[in-house]
Structure 1
Amino acid sequence: MFRSDMRRTSCAVFMFSFMLLAGNSAKAQTPLPLIPLPATAVEGTGSLSVDHGLQVVLEGYTEPRLERARARFLDTLSREIGTSGVPPQTVAGGKLIIKTAGPSAPVQQLGEDESYHLEITTTGAHLTAPTPLGVLHGLQTFLQLVHSTPEGYAVTGVTIDDKPRFPWRGLMIDTGRHFMPLDVLRQNLDGMEAVKMNVFHWHLSEDQGFRVESKTFPLLQEKGSDGLYYTQDQVRGILEYAHDRGIRVVPEFDMPGHATAWFVGYPNLASGSGPYKIERHWGIFDPAMDPTRESTYQFLDQLLGEMTALFPDAYFHIGGDECNGKEWDANPRIKQYMQTHHIKDDAGLQAYFTSRVQQLVTKRHKITVGWDELLQPDTPRDVVIQSWRGQDSLAEAARRGYRGLLSAGYYIDLNQSAADHYAVDPLVNGKAKLSPAEEANILGGEATMWTEYATPENITGKIWPRTAAIAERLWSAQSVKDADSMYRRIDTLSQNFAYYGLPYQGVREQMLRRLNSYSDPKALQILASVVQPPRDYAREELRAYDAFYPLNRLVDTVPPESNKAREFNELAARIAAGKAAPEDWRKARQWLALWRDNDAALQPSLPKSTLTAELAPLSHNLSQAATIGLLALDALQNNAPVSAEMQKQQLAELKELEKPQAILLNRIVPGVEVLVSAAKAQ
């Protein structure tokens, strides 16, 4: 399970002349600047000015959470339009009337009504919803509709009826491997609210650390966390922060494997003889809980009693992934137990362990969630299966009557593109289609952020903005599939994320300045804009890492996906296909010349630090690739095709240039390869 001015573009971009319905074609000409796209949107006329303030009035049911949501909304709006504060009462400004029919559950529940109706006209706006959850979502839609006009800032006239496709739209953050401070968690909860995600899956224990205070078993955090853990009061603070934003919090305590940190303070839980210490490396390790001792379940009974009381959500995650069974196999007493109790293999032993733990969770009136490994022939039917193995695995669970969540394809730590994540749908798999009843068993999905290569400094920039694509897949209609539209809308959102509490772009700029010894980072920025980390698990094969390895190099600074390189590769494809506009040719030449010449500007500064010295070959490779691209562009533009021999030579050189340097990939190479291939004599 290894997992410019920040303003919106002009009003013309935001106007549209279509009705976006759930069943309509995904190829809309000019979709709303919203992500996720709403279920139904109908064009209005004109827009509502917010330049001189906005009065927000609560009608019908109200509660303190709605009052705080109104204050937070006005605060965000004031940052978005650049005022010192939007006054709550104003003569000149417009009015937003919010009417809520009634309360939501005191503890947010799966499947509550999250729908809302938003109507914006030139004279005012109305937001109505059955519960506060819909109001929270509608306010985020309103904020995303704000744009500049010649007369000032306004909100597009529109009527929207909206509700989610799936009831479970989650983000998992692993705080076990690398501990994440409270401000980082709050930032990402703000990001979740902005794109209508509603489950924060909090991964709290790992081989590298047990991260929450236990008053019943204090050695868990005293010996198993390096002092990096959340107090119970801090946990309650996060729970309140999430609840204010319409987000449930589901904790995960991984067992029986991935639990080495537990055994440092309580070695009798383990199947081996120890001694145990906090794991400092990444991977799958042998230590596992002993499923054959009653003392193990007595311990877990008390701990789960404490933790289920701390976390109010109805769902409780017990992990269950990647237990390799080696410590069980090496223990004669455990092997004898298996023989006596007719347990044929390690999978059977883990199934026995799961059934016992599930009973302890059920005893506290909670519902167990676990990874694919929990799915065994006799797994209780109320266990929710979270699939990291794939859509087929999830579909199989659904066929057998289990509710499930998809995370395969949503592993945002693997540096895959937003388009890759966007193409993955929980209800699409390689086998026969599910029946409607079986489809209903699939609750939604979760983006997963494992933190082997993430720090408090860079994690938010790894999660966002790509996770917005996953949020849309889980909220919007299945027919909404236009990746080009998705990228345009994500770009608009990302320019405004700082206003919503996610300053990752500024953090990335500061990291680049630090790498460049706080000199002008322009040349380094140009290199950084077209490189990205390797995908999937290639990084761990290129350099040895552990928990103490500093993550402060360029590979740790750049986004997981290079938007500039993606745009160039798309542009190159249009040129090669003969579909390019004159502006495409001009831009391609301008970019390639910039990348060719940047090496000379950057190289003198690279030897100043060991952190940048490793970038010298990468910078040179970018220059070489751009030079080849310019030659191909000349050949195409002048109708002077190159020889087959020259093309072969250039493609071979490009193959070398696309190999990782400094754990980074030169992402313009695919586009240059397309140009070179198109320039061959027929």
Structure 2
Amino acid sequence: MRTSILFLLLVSAQVMNSFTSTAQTSNSVNIIPKPSRIINDKGSLLLKEDVKIFFSNEVEDKEILLSYLCDQINQLTGVEIPKKITRKLPASNKIIFRKVTDNNWGEEEYSLIVDVTGVLIEAKSDKGFFYGIQSLLQLVPLNTELKIPYIKILDEPRYPYRGMHLDVCRHFFSVDFIKKYIDLMAMYKMNTFHWHLTEDQGWRIEIKKYPKLTEIGAWRIEKDGSKYGGFYTQDQIKEIVKYASERFITVIPEIELPGHSVAALAAYPELACNQGPFEVENEWGVFDDVYCAGKETTFEFLQNVLLEVIELFPSKYIHIGGDECPKSNWASCSLCQKRIKEEGLKDEHELQSYFIQRIEKFLISKNRKIIGWDEILEGGLAPEATVMSWRGTAGGIQAAKQKHDVIMTPGSHCYFDHYQDVNYIEPTAIGGFTSLQKVYEFEPTPSELNEDEAKYILGAQANIWTEYMHTPDRVEYMLAPRICALAEVVWSSKGQRNWNDFQDRMNHHYELLHKYEINSFIQAPHGGVNKNFFFDQMEMPFEVKLQDAEIRYTLDGSNPDVNSKIYTKPLVIENTTTIKTQTFHESGLKSKIRTIECVKISPLVSDTISELGEGLKYKIIKGKFKNLDEVTYDEVMQCGVLDKIKFPKDIRHYS
């Protein structure tokens, strides 16, 4: 990153005199992620529909950039700009793309200047031009005029890796939705799509050498007996990879190994330590059946799979998983124990390291590198592996100190399957709590690293695990607006980030998300609980911590709309009532409807107690139950009397 002196020299060549006297603060610019340097001025440029678009000869992907720019302007404003490149440099009403030959410029750096003559975007590469387009689009008001404020921006990212992950195995999503997901990433200058394609619950990628992977492994039988699943053909994968590349996004496939492999074992049970049979899992969790590390056929299978994968994905990296691999089957498998002895390994942890290193060696021979979840540290790290640190930041710190590249994705801040508001208001999620502000406050480079070690932190990504996301709308709800916060974390410098300023800029982005038909999360009204009992009367206070938003409510059980009453003070409830409240943002986005039952009751007559009992009787029952009606007492593990309610420490439970 160059100094501010170079920035001033750069813009001085572009009619700097018209800007020097009335420069304003950058706070009025609503770009996310926040650019490195901004000078904005009073006044604006009105581009006409016959705007001329000019590219210097050195720009490579002219047609891709032109088509994207024109399509997005049309979607945002309704203005149709001709998809035509002018060959002669226009004097005004112009958008110019000019390539910079200065080697000091970064590959993703750009400058954007809007003045009385038109728009100038400069960059060293087409990536930079694309990011300049994104900033330009965020300056365009959502109406029928191309009225853009006068501004000068010099910008480049803090981290080279800015990722989003999507699990399509727990629930499957269409090609069209994958493209929409990629479009949202592109809008916020994210550059890596981590595509989680294989799991216990489904195998989602066509492998022509092993057709049973999609004939059997792509489908599971749900609890109600229905068949669920799907997969992407190789042609569809090529289509998505091309679509992403036109938005300067790299797609990294994940092929899970050695664990999370039940779907593959259902198709080819001979790859397991025992012969099965196996069924594609219809429950969530971690399962003991994994690839057998003692069989040569396991490695032959995986190498053949990876040969087809690397033909489909030109990415430098292949993600090989490596997480949550139970080792109980390996411990009892004669072939795995033979492998441990022959390779001089200490235990099953070193056997996993052997497994990962063998796959890495194969991929290196094909000019690829591996990424793995931080469990690949256990038993010894593969020589050129990049670690994706998800169980906190400790694994990433350890890897960086060993001079290995790291991508930070701790569950505490980067797991977008977590609740983003209090759980009794939100739809069911897997657990946790990761609010918009918590994401925004994430710092990818731990303070424990010195300057040299910090260089190994490539960036960060957020993960969308879809156990509780059945539909595209639900994925969007968990993704936006948290993607906006993460985008600023990985692009903007640490010193630039300011939560209040970000909230101000988000008001415009709620409008953008609504315009692009993204089902974005909007905080529902807080206050009280969902079921209330009272004697005479009760007050129900509500609040929402969101700018430019209001609460509307009904008392007759109907859903709120724009004509419903606006909440201004606590509601006084005197009879049994169903309150429905909803947050309405000025962008047009709305929160989910919250239903609060207020039930008026009469006090019970006091009973006479002759003697006190010894406590609360309990039984601990082993099993999985979705509701109380399913509970059976066939397997009682423990019973007794408690003097207070608690779970014994040695009992695993989800409640």
1:19/1:40 contact within 8 Å kept: no
Secondary structure in structure 2 of the residue aligned to 1:277: coil
* 2:510 is aligned with 1:494: yes
SS of alignment partner, residue 170 of structure 1: strand
Alignment partner of 1:172 is 2:165: yes
What do residues 488-525 of structure 1 show as CA deviations (whole Å, max 9, x unaligned)? Answer: 222311311354x44435xx9xxxxxxxxxxxxxxxx9
The 1-side partners of 2:579 and 2:23 are apart by: 47
- Superposition map of 1:538-617 within 5 A: 565-567=544-546, 590-593=567-570, 600=577
Counterpart in the other structure of 2:417: 413
- 1:135 corresponds to which residue? 129
Kept in 2: contact 1:197–1:247 (CA 8 A): yes
**1:59 corresponds to which residue?**
56
Distance (Å, rounded) in 1 between the aligned partners of 2:200 and 2:188: 32
Deviations 1:400-448 (A, max 9, x none): 111000011211111221110111111134xx3x222211111001111
Distance 1:471 1:616 in 2: 28
Q: Report the more deviating stretch, 487-496 or 413-422.
A: 487-496
Q: TM-score, normalised by structure 2?
A: 0.72
Determine the C-alpha separation between the residues in 2 that align with 1:254 and 1:598. Answer: 56
- TM-score normalised by L of structure 1: 0.69
CA displacement at 1:460 relative to structure 2: 1.9
* Structural mapping, 1:476-515, within 5 Å: 476-499=492-515, 501-504=516-519
Partner of 1:204: 197
| Matches of 2:593 and 2:513, distance apart in 1 | 33
What is the rounded CA distance, in whole Å, between the counterparts of 2:518 and 2:211 in structure 1?
A: 35
Match in the other structure for 1:451:
466
- The 5-angstrom pairing of residues 645-656 of structure 1 reads none
The alpha-carbon deviation at position 189 of structure 1 amounts to 0.7
- Equivalence map 1:30-179=2 (5 Å): 30-50=27-47, 52=49, 54-63=51-60, 65-83=61-79, 85-87=80-82, 94-101=93-100, 113-147=107-141, 153-179=146-172
Q: CA RMSD in A?
A: 3.6
Question: Per the alignment, in what secondary structure is the counterpart of residue 254 of structure 1?
Answer: strand
Q: Which residue of 1 aligns with 2:644?
A: none
User: Could you tell me which residue of structure 2 aligns to residue 186 of structure 1?
Assistant: 179
**Structure 1 position 618, deviation (Å):** 4.8
Shift of 1:392: 2.8
Change (3 A) 1:616 1:252: closer
Cα distance in 2 for partners of 1:97, 1:616 equals 47
Counterpart Cα distance in 2 of 1:113 and 1:179: 35
Change (3 A) 1:238 1:160: same
SS of the residue 1:183 aligns to: helix
What do the CA deviations read for 1:557-611 (whole angstroms, capped 9, x no partner)?
xxxxxx973339999xxxxxxxxxxxxxxxx99444479799946579xxxxxxx
Work out the CA distance in 1 between the residues paired with 2:72 and 2:572. 38
Pick one of 482, 486, 503 that aligns with 1:466: 482
Does the 8 Å CA contact 2:507/2:548 hold for their aligned counterparts?
no
For the residue of structure 1 that corresponds to 2:149, the secondary structure is: strand
Q: Could you tell me how far 1:338 is from its partner in structure 2?
A: 2.9
DSSP 3-state at the match of 1:306:
helix
- Structure-2 change in CA distance of 1:191 and 1:346 (3 Å): same
| 1:670 corresponding residue in structure 2 | none
SS at match of 1:250: strand
How far residue 119 of structure 1 moved from its aligned partner, in angstroms, is 0.5
* Pair 77,603 (structure 1): closer, same or farther in 2 beyond 3 Å: closer
1-structure distance, mates of 2:363, 2:177: 29
SS in 2 for 1:34: coil
Counterpart of 1:199 in structure 2: which amino acid? T
What is the distance in 2 between the residues matched to 1:289 and 1:112?
A: 43
Matches within 5 A, 1:428-447: 428-429=446-447, 432=448, 434-447=449-462
Change (3 A) 1:208 1:119: same
1:62 Cα shift?
3.5
1:223 aligns with 2:243: no
- Residues 449-495 of structure 1: CA deviation (Å, up to 9, x unaligned): 11101123321222122111101100001112311222222231131
CA separation of 1:169 and 1:616: change in aligned 2, threshold 3 A: closer
Paired residues for 1:3-402 under 5 Å: 18=24, 30-50=27-47, 52=49, 54-63=51-60, 65-83=61-79, 85-87=80-82, 94-101=93-100, 113-147=107-141, 153-226=146-219, 228-339=230-341, 341-376=343-378, 378-402=380-404
| Distance (Å, rounded) in 1 between the aligned partners of 2:164 and 2:385 | 20
Q: Secondary structure at the match of 1:185?
A: helix
| Matched position secondary structure for 1:224 | coil
8 Å Cα contact 1:191-1:502 kept in structure 2: no
Corresponding residue SS for 2:216: helix
Establish whether residue 620 from structure 1 lines up as the match of residue 597 from structure 2. Answer: yes
User: Counterparts of 2:575 and 2:388 in 1: how far apart (Å)?
Assistant: 46
Deviation digits for residues 2-49 of structure 1 (CA, Å, limit 9, x no counterpart)? xxxxxxxxxxxxxx95566xxxxxxxxx25201000111112341111
Deviation at 1:66, TM superposition (A): 2.8
Aligned to 2:524: 529
Where in structure 2 are the equivalents of 1:648-667 lying within 5 Å? Answer: none
State the structure with more CA Rg.
2
Cα distance between partner residues in 1 of 2:389 and 2:575? 45
Specify the SS of the correspondent of 2:309. Answer: helix
1:71 is displaced (CA, Å) by 2.0
Give 1:41's aligned amino acid.
Answer: I
**Contact conserved, 2:167 with 2:464, CA < 8 A, in 1?**
yes
Q: Structure 1 or 2: larger strand share? A: 2
CA distance in structure 1 between the aligned counterparts of 2:575 and 2:195, rounded to whole angstroms: 43
User: Quick check: 1:44–1:121 contact (8 Å CA) kept in 2?
Assistant: no
Q: 1:590 to 1:378 in 2, by over 3 A?
A: closer
SS in 1 for 2:141: strand
Which structure has greater helix proportion? 1
Structure 1 residues 374 and 112 mapped into 2: Cα distance closer, same or farther (>3 Å)? farther
CA distance in 2, matches of 1:341, 1:479: 50
* Structure 2 spans left out of the alignment, 5+ residues: 1-21, 220-228, 420-433, 530-541, 551-564, 582-591, 601-626, 628-655
